[in-house]
């Protein structure tokens, strides 16, 4: 799939994986609509991000995502790519000194990470399906973000692991469902990525995390996630796959 001359939708685009992906797609000539929470979009107001238009939207809201998609005008390039990066990663044991794991926190994590991903996937797919196919019958691609926690969830990751395991499980049936429309679906499962949230834990914690990665002995960079999105977009035969981006890391219980 050619990236230049298309419209791409990226969620969680104000920071981290989403920001890196939006920048990489824009650099390749895509017109990018970046979704993030209104507060995050407001914090980036006035910053020049060539080729990227940030829109405030909650990924769990059908109305908000539809409103964002409706901003693609008749003269704009067709939507052919959607990348789901929005998510949260709370840490809580099933039973702790605080008592039993809050049901509301579990539900919120599932709502944002899993339901939000599905919400954007289904609504973006409906728009992509209206585009004219290329010579190979392809109309577009959706890339979701899981985590290696979806395979090896650690102590305290019960909600996060469940949500990301759900994203992994959706990948193949979504690819099969959308094959008739020429839409591919793939998922990236990152390991430990060097994001602002992780940096806040301090250099000592980050060094310890990096030491556990077999090779390379460092944290992944958001730009490496973005490069994988570009590769998947340009490789038309990759479909229905969940690709680990983890330096061969297999998480221990804690």
Q: DSSP 3-state assignment of 151?
A: coil
**Which of 160, 181, 225, 237 does the annotation list as catalytic?**
160
User: CA 122, CA 152: separation in Å to the nearest integer?
Assistant: 27
What letter would DSSP give residue 92? Answer: B
Nearest to 8 by CA among 38, 126, 29: 29
Q: Are 44 and 20 in contact (CB under 8 A)?
A: no
Q: Give the end-to-end CA distance of the chain in Å, rounded to a whole number.
A: 40
- Catalytic: 160? yes
User: CA 4, CA 19: separation in Å to the nearest integer?
Assistant: 18
Count Cα atoms within 13 angstroms, Cβ side, for 240.
Answer: 10
Active site residues: 160
């Amino acid at each position: 799939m050619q990236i230049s001359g298309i419209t791409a939708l990226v969620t969680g685009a104000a920071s981290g994986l989403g920001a890196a992906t939006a920048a990489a797609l824009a650099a390749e000539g895509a017109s990018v609509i970046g979704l993030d929470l209104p507060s995050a979009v407001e914090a980036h107001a006035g910053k020049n991000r060539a080729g990227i238009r940030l829109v405030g939207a909650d990924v769990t809201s059908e109305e908000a995502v539809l409103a964002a998609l409706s901003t693609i005008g008749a003269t704009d390039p067709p939507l052919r790519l959607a990348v789901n990066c929005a998510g949260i990663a709370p840490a809580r044991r099933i039973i702790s000194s605080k008592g039993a794991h809050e049901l509301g926190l579990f539900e919120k994590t599932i709502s944002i990470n899993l339901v939000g991903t599905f919400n954007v996937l289904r609504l973006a797919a409906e728009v992509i399906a209206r585009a004219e196919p290329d010579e190979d019958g392809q109309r577009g691609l959706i890339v979701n973000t899981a985590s290696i926690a979806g395979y090896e969830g650690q102590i305290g990751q019960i909600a996060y692991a469940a949500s990301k395991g759900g994203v992994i499980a959706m990948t193949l049936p979504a690819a099969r469902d959308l094959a008739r429309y020429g839409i591919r679906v793939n998922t990236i499962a990152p390991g430990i990525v060097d994001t602002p949230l992780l940096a806040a834990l301090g250099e000592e914690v980050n060094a310890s995390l990096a030491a556990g990665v077999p090779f390379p002995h460092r944290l992944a960079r958001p730009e490496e996630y973005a490069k994988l999105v570009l590769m998947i977009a340009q490789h038309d035969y990759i479909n229905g796959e969940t690709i680990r981006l983890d330096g061969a890391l297999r998480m221990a219980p804690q």
